A and B are shown apart, each in its own frame.
Chain A
Amino acid sequence: MVAVYLFFVGVSAGSYVLASLPFALGLRRYEPLSKLALISAIIFAILAPLAITPHLTQPSRLFSLLFSFHQTSPLSWGTYILSAYVLAMLAYGRFSFRGDLIQRMEEESGLKASFYRALALWQTSLSEESLKTDRKFAKVSGYVALALAFLTVYTGFELGVIRAQPLWHLSISPIMFLLTALSSGFAFALSLYLVAERYFSKTRRWNMEATSGVSILLAWLLAAFLVLNAMQAILSQYTTADARFAFEYLVTGPLSTTFVWVGILLGGVVPFLIFTMPVTRKSPQLVLVGSALALVGSFATKYGVLISAQLVPKTGTTFLAYTPSLIEFAEFAGVVSLGAFLFTVVLWVLPWQQRFRLGVGV
């Protein structure tokens, strides 16, 4: 479940970066995906701590993380970063979605209208002054959340600071986490957009300019992901004997299929080719397949590195074995089911298709 937690934090951060491209860099071609990307970012950021909680042997003490800051522990920093990140995104969502909520409220009547009024926190004015306030707060909270999205790279430090695990203790670990966060977040938001537009929207039409644009970004990110993995392979040969051995065990040991075949080839090379070639990039179905593979690749490489390192004995010669238990499978299924439920409800309830233009990109 630690791998799931690391993966979810990455998907959230990457999704939010995609959501912020229109307002942060003025890249308006990605606007059709930005609301869904924001929804993904918030849901995954909420799911991430839920994924790690069963891993604690004292889950009831989870909240003590908030009350005992330890400046040298990346996990302690992460608690505050993730909490602030969720709050900033919720604030950004509230201010940037308010216009859409009010539009929907005006389209509905009775209980439904009251529901959307409540979601807008009973501020239903669309006067220029109130929109100006929305713009101001959306901008501030949007940039704060963007900064915090990049700070979620703390997950890379969580592994990188562990000297006792040479496979984790590589200086490129945080960069690798940042890169896989972007690729997995972009891939998930793109998948969600393709599925949601097909099955949940009224228009049932994809904006191919946005889809193609994200595909090109993904091609670059996957290229960088592959290059960084090659760099990791080379660097591990020239650091310490332990690091060299740990990396060789990763690519030849019990996790080699997960890391090399699923993570690098199926989840890196194949989607890279799909997103690079214009013929495949223009097919929404193939883009959906490519995005799904990129997601699988991101998870598989994280899982491979996380588990393989722990199988190598720190001292001595007896290798360890690991097979996920039924309980761990159940926990995984529970978190994924909860995620699927949240996405279904949110896509059903929130006016993600409304095109109210606040003026900050969403």
Chain B
Amino acid sequence: MVVDLNKCIGCQACTVACKAEFNVPTGVFRTWVREFEDGIFPNVKVQFLPSLCNQCDDPPCVPVCPVKAIYKQEDGAVLIDAEECIGCGYCVQACPYNAIFLNPQTQVAEKCTFCINRVEQGLAPACVQTCVGGARIFGDLADEHSSVSELANSKAVQVLKPDMGTEPMVYYIGLDGKLAARVNRGGN
């Protein structure tokens, strides 16, 4: 997935679509849009950062799971087997992107799956389908002719926390400067 931050207007339509698609309870999110304020009054601006599981190529959540409930498919999707998860929360700690949570209703770990249920039926992920500004572009990165590949290859793209070495599969356009520094260095 490629997320063009220049097109995100922070409407949270993606957050709502995802909640509706997966019946995600209040207080937890599979995807959400974070807001960052920058500048000093009166010269201030708000920047938006759509956040979700990065479906890492080297996902740190997978090796720590004690019961192999999290696994990576050949197509690149990192999934959680709800029938196997014991709810220890180890993956929640291991994820550098805060993308995994313990669902208070199902009592198991949960996260974005790139809407694999929809993709298998030829549909776009719910957040991509609903994005007002067309900021989320989804496709097969292995296919060099896909729109997502063309974007990733033609534009300057960044990933979150590149120093973690997780090789995320979510690329951002416009994630640079102060925003990148604030996002990538937790707390400081």
Contact = CB atoms under 8 A, between A and B. Distances in A.
Interface of A: 55-59, 61-62, 64-65, 68, 70, 72-76, 79, 158, 161-165, 240-242, 245-246, 249, 310, 312-317, 319
Given A75-B66, A76-B66, A315 B186 contact: yes
A280 to B, nearest CB: 41
A61 B123 CA distance: 35
Given A58-B86, A65-B86, A315-B97, A73 B65 contact: yes
B65 A164 contact: no
B187 A312 contact: yes
B53 to A, nearest CB: 13
B25 interface: no
By secondary structure, the A interface counts as: loop
A61 B88 CA distance: 10
B40 to A, nearest CB: 16
B86 A64 contact: yes
Given A57-B87, A76-B67, A316-B182, A162 B188 contact: no
B5 interface: no
B76 to A, nearest CB: 19
A306 B90 CA distance: 13
A313 B86 CA distance: 25
B66 A164 contact: no
Given A73-B63, A314-B97, A58 B87 contact: yes
B160 interface: yes
B60 A57 contact: no
Contact of B64 (A56, A73, A312, A314): A73
Given A58-B108, A315-B51, 4 more contacts: A65-B66, A72-B64, A75-B64, A316-B183
Contacts of B65: 70, 73
B145 interface: no
Contacts of B102: 57
Across the A-B interface, give the 6 residue pairs with the lowest CB-CB distance, nearest first: A57-B87, A72-B63, A245-B188, A164-B96, A75-B66, A76-B66
Contacts of B96: 163-164, 314-315
A161 B64 contact: yes
B20 interface: no
A164 B182 contact: no
B35 to A, nearest CB: 10
A249 B187 CA distance: 9
Contacts of A59: 87
Contacts of B85: 58, 61
Contacts of B89: 55, 57
A55 B185 CA distance: 29
Nearest to A315: B183
A61 B83 CA distance: 10
A245 B184 CA distance: 13
Contacts of B188: 241-242, 245
21 contacts: A56-B87, A57-B87, A57-B89, A57-B102, A58-B85, A59-B87, A61-B85, A62-B86, A72-B63, A73-B63, A162-B64, A162-B93, A162-B94, A163-B60, A164-B94, A164-B96, A245-B188, A314-B95, A314-B97, A314-B98, A316-B183
A316 B84 CA distance: 31
B161 interface: yes
B64 A74 contact: yes
User: Which of A58, A158, A240 lies at the interface centre, i.e. has the most chain B CB atoms within 10 A of its CB?
Assistant: A58
B176 to A, nearest CB: 15
A19 B185 CA distance: 46
Nearest to B109: A57
A315 B94 contact: no
B68 interface: yes
Interface in B34-54: 34, 36, 51
B90 A163 contact: no
